């Protein structure tokens, strides 16, 4: 039998949302996609022509090692790794338990580093690329986004450092910064924020209760008006396939606007912009 000719792409966090849409878009473009999912039922839902689901929790060393072995055993070149897996956990810096900070960084930063380290030898052989899915939260941090944005800021820094290390060796490193995307992640994020807010002390609730509600309202409205997962996936596919990709791509008008403002406005002015935007989302009694 002849060897398969389609190049490999790895997409983490492909169970639903942006990851699943990215896997489908890249398969449609002729890649063989190793799609990381957490559960067998997610694998069954995603499996199709060009998509091979693999059970992958990026925080589990044995899962990452198994993925690296699967790639090493394949005769096809590894064209790209799309580090997409992520969770959203919001809460005020004072009130967010430290174990939640560690959980966010394990998934949204250290897991991506682990996958990248494991697959870089294959990427170097194939002169492939790393595509890290960041966020507008990787360039500017709204209130209660300390943990999430902190991990995304760090991912942006890691991407810059990695790019300067491996692009001379033929491996491209690209960051994609989505704004609001209509996926289950934001819905889960609101539910998580409400659960964590219920654990605040009365004093913390007095200080931050209205703020948490305002952020949740803003997140919900921003998600509802945001890109579809399929539209965001086409931006990721561009980062994967463009011969000479930019170092960063935004996805969505909100991402382009907010990141553009963050580049030019002084911090205090940007603070006032965020405060004004949030004001109409506060509960009436606390606005």
Catalytic-role residue among 145, 148, 208, 249: 148
Q: Which residues pair with 52 in a beta bridge?
A: 34
Three-class secondary structure of residue 139 per DSSP: coil
C-alpha to C-alpha distances, 155 to 76, 163, 175, 233, 279, nearest whole angstrom: 28, 12, 9, 19, 30
Q: What are phi and psi of 262, to 5 degrees?
A: -65, -25
The DSSP result for 10-74, as a single string, is: EESS-SSHHHHHHHHHHHHTT-EEEEEESSHHHHHHH-BTTEEEEE--TT-HHHHHHHHHHHHT-
User: On the CB side of 165, how many CA atoms lie within 13 Å of its CA?
Assistant: 10
Q: What are phi and psi of 45, to 5 degrees?
A: -70, -30
State yes or no: is 145 an active-site residue: no
Catalytic (active-site) positions: 148
């Amino acid at each position: 039998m002849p060897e398969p000719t389609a190049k490999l792409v790895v997409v983490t966090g492909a169970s639903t949302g942006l990851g699943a849409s990215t896997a489908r878009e890249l398969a449609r473009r002729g890649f063989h996609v190793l799609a990381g999912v957490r559960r067998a039922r997610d694998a069954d839902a995603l499996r199709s022509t060009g998509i091979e689901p693999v059970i992958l929790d990026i925080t589990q060393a044995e899962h990452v090692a198994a993925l690296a072995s699967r790639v090493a055993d394949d005769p096809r070149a590894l064209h790209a790794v799309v580090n997409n897996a992520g969770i959203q956990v919001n809460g005020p810096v004072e009130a967010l338990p430290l174990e939640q900070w560690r959980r966010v960084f394990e998934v949204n930063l250290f897991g991506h580093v682990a996958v990248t380290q494991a697959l870089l030898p294959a990427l170097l052989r194939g002169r492939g690329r790393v595509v890290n899915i960041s966020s507008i939260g990787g360039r500017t941090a709204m209130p209660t986004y300390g943990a999430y944005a902190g991990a995304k800021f760090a991912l942006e820094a890691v991407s810059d450092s990695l790019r300067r290390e491996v692009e001379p060796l033929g491996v491209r490193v690209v960051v994609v910064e989505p704004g609001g995307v209509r996926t289950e992640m934001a819905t889960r994020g609101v539910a998580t924020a409400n659960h964590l807010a219920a654990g605040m002390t009365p004093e913390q609730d007095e200080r931050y209760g209205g703020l948490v509600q305002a952020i949740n309202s803003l997140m919900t409205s921003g998600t509802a008006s945001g890109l579809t997962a399929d539209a965001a996936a086409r931006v990721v596919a561009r980062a994967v396939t463009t011969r000479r990709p930019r170092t960063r791509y935004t996805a969505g008008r909100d991402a382009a606007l907010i990141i553009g403002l963050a580049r030019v406005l002084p911090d205090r002015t940007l603070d006032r912009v965020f405060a004004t935007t949030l004001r109409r989302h506060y509960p009436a009694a606390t606005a």
